[in-house]
Structure 1
Amino acid sequence: MRIITRLIAVSDLGNRDIARRAGIPMQKISDLLSGRLEQLTLDELQTLRRTIDPQLTPP
């Protein structure tokens, strides 16, 4: 979770743009950034990671 929140923080994309591209409601991004990890599923976290930095996706 900390890795993903840091990736969001340093991303050139805005939070809304990240949420839109990942297909995740903006409220869930806000929840994640405020420390409420339980609001997201593992699949959503993985989607966020791939959305923010596609190079981190394993081959």
Structure 2
Amino acid sequence: MRIITRMIAVSDLGSREIARRAGLPMQKISDLLSGRLEQLSIDELQRLRRTIDPQLTPP
């Protein structure tokens, strides 16, 4: 979670754009950034990670 939060913080994309590309509501990104990890599923976290850094997508 901390890694994804940091990736969001340093990303060239804004939080809204990351949420849009990942297909998640902006509230989920806000929850993550405020430390409420329990609001996101593992699949949603993986989607966020792949959205922020597409090179991490498995072949």
TM-score under structure 2 length normalisation: 0.97
Alignment match, 1:49: 49
Unaligned runs of 5+ in 1: none
Q: Percent identity?
A: 88
Instruction: Kindly tell me the number of residue pairs found equivalent between the two proteins.
Output: 59
Q: Which amino acid aligns with 1:14?
A: G
Residue matched to 2:36? 36
Moved segments of 4+, more than 4 Å: none
Unaligned runs of 5+ in 2: none
Residue correspondence of structure 1 range 3-22 to structure 2 within 5 A:
3-22=3-22
